[in-house]
Amino acid sequence: MNSPFLAIPPAAADAGDGLWPLEQVVAELRTARAQWRAAQHRQAEPGSRELPSRDILTDITHALRAALFPLRLGPPDLRPAGEDFYVGHTLDRALNALLGQVRLELHFVLRHKSGNLDAQIDHKARGIVREFAIRLPQIRRLLDSDVESAYLGDPAARSVDEILLCYPGIVAIMHHRLAHALYRLGVPLLARIVAELAHAETGIDIHPGAQIGRGFFIDHGTGVVIGETAVIGERVRLYQAVTLGARRFETDDSGALRKGGPRHPVVEDDVVIYAGATLLGRITIGRGSSIGGNVWLTRSVPPGSAITQAGLQQETPPRDGPAP
């Protein structure tokens, strides 16, 4: 994705002379960059890109989506006789491009290590992309279960093709299945970018670390947030504006946030969570439960529970305050 603003010829750039203090702004931006890098103990390496490219990952992700569902998300002139050739060609380009992005993330992470760094990075990057490629058929099968679950769970859906072509929840879970594989393979920055591309496209925010089982369905979807350590079982259905978030953030002695640690809900199999519900903390929602719209829940519930806003309002909290 090339912006026309990135290819302005020098003559056109000179047209701004006298209208704005361009040299001053450029110099001050250079100073700001230098101050930031010094504060972060980082130094730009001449002749090389430091971090992965969001634009390249956009192209890679779109290519992977098309390779997974070629007759639905591939080119309009593709026919069944040419599927294998198209998938092979598309995957070869996408995986080679992904290899370059994996190298960039690994170089950024390992840049302070000694030894033959380029050889270490190349060997590790090739292994990551190879394993990612091997996982693509399983990702396709998981996505088939998600599409089927959406079709069975939405009376407005007329076909599985409509689900795949029209439903933002499927776009989000497609990105998540790809991002989660990258996350588990040790390239969390690439995974996060892939996830955020879906967030920008659909309004659905799923952290790539979240574990999500088969047959997952997000209906409508806008405003859904699923945190990094959330664990979701099979055949779970969410509606718009559902949050599976953290209740509190632990800090160390200096007041800095502690990274990692389970802090998001566990949702067991066959749970339905309706629009606007907010579930916070490492709580467990028992199998087969139904969580009503706009419910605010910070405690675990047993299997088969039916939790409503009215029911929660009638409960008497314990004397020592709400449950953690």
Number of H helices, E strands in the chain: 10, 14
In this prediction the pTM is 0.87
Please say whether the beta carbons of 190 and 213 come within 8 A: no
- When divided into structural domains, the chain yields a total of 2
Q: How far is CA 54 from CA 98, 128, 180, 190, 196, in A?
A: 12, 19, 17, 9, 10
**Both tokens assigned to 57:** 């990952």
Q: Which residues contact 298 (CB under 8 A, 6 or more apart)?
A: 247, 279, 280, 281, 283, 322, 323, 324
d(CA 5, CA 300) in angstroms, rounded, equals: 52
Please say whether the beta carbons of 218 and 232 come within 8 A: no
Within a domain: 10:
no
Rounded to 5 degrees, what angle do the CA atoms 108, 109, 114 make? 95
Q: Which pLDDT value is given to residue 96? A: 98
Within a domain: 129:
yes
Phi, psi torsion values for 232, nearest 5 degrees: -120, 130
Q: Which pLDDT value is given to residue 319? A: 41
Regarding whether 87 and 117 lie in a shared domain, the answer is: yes
The secondary structure of 31-78 as a DSSP string is: HHHHHHHHHTT--PPTTS--S--HHHHHHHHHHHHHHHSHHHHS-TT-
Within a domain: 21:
no
Regarding whether 109 and 74 lie in a shared domain, the answer is: yes
Within a domain: 19:
no
Q: Which residues contact 84 (CB under 8 A, 6 or more apart)?
A: none
Within a domain: 32:
no
Regarding whether 157 and 283 lie in a shared domain, the answer is: no
Q: Which pLDDT value is given to residue 114? A: 67
Question: Smallest Cα–Cα separation from 265: which of 299, 223, 312, 222?
Answer: 299
**Both tokens assigned to 154:** 């939405």
Regarding whether 119 and 55 lie in a shared domain, the answer is: yes
Q: What does DSSP say about strands 237-238 and 284-285: parallel, antiparallel, or unpaired?
A: unpaired
Regarding whether 293 and 228 lie in a shared domain, the answer is: yes
Regarding whether 311 and 170 lie in a shared domain, the answer is: no
Q: Bridge-partner residues for 20, per DSSP?
A: 17
Regarding whether 122 and 196 lie in a shared domain, the answer is: yes
User: Scanning the structure block, which residue is given the tokens 């449950």?
Assistant: 323
Please say whether the beta carbons of 243 and 209 come within 8 A: no
Regarding whether 188 and 54 lie in a shared domain, the answer is: yes
**Both tokens assigned to 286:** 């028992």
Regarding whether 238 and 199 lie in a shared domain, the answer is: no
Within a domain: 36:
no
**Both tokens assigned to 2:** 């090339």
CATH of the domain at 57: 1.10.3130.10
CATH of the domain at 291: 2.160.10.10
Q: Which pLDDT value is given to residue 204? A: 98
Q: Which pLDDT value is given to residue 317? A: 53
d(CA 49, CA 117) in angstroms, rounded, equals: 16
Within a domain: 101:
yes
Please say whether the beta carbons of 59 and 90 come within 8 A: no
Regarding whether 274 and 189 lie in a shared domain, the answer is: no
Domain span including residue 232: 223-250+259-324
pLDDT tens for the chain, 324 residues: list them. Answer: 555 545 555 554 554 557 999 999 999 999 999 999 899 877 666 666 789 999 999 999 999 999 999 999 999 999 999 999 999 999 999 999 999 999 999 998 987 676 678 889 999 999 999 999 999 999 999 999 999 999 999 999 999 999 999 999 999 999 999 999 999 999 999 999 999 999 999 999 999 999 999 999 999 999 999 999 999 999 999 999 999 999 987 777 777 778 888 999 999 999 999 999 999 999 999 999 999 999 999 999 999 999 999 888 776 454 443 333
Question: Smallest Cα–Cα separation from 57: which of 209, 193, 170, 178?
Answer: 193
Within a domain: 25:
no
Q: Which pLDDT value is given to residue 249? A: 78
**Both tokens assigned to 177:** 């299945």
Q: What does DSSP say about strands 278-280 and 225-226: parallel, antiparallel, or unpaired?
A: unpaired
d(CA 109, CA 319) in angstroms, rounded, equals: 49
Regarding whether 60 and 182 lie in a shared domain, the answer is: yes
Regarding whether 274 and 195 lie in a shared domain, the answer is: no
**Both tokens assigned to 8:** 């302005």
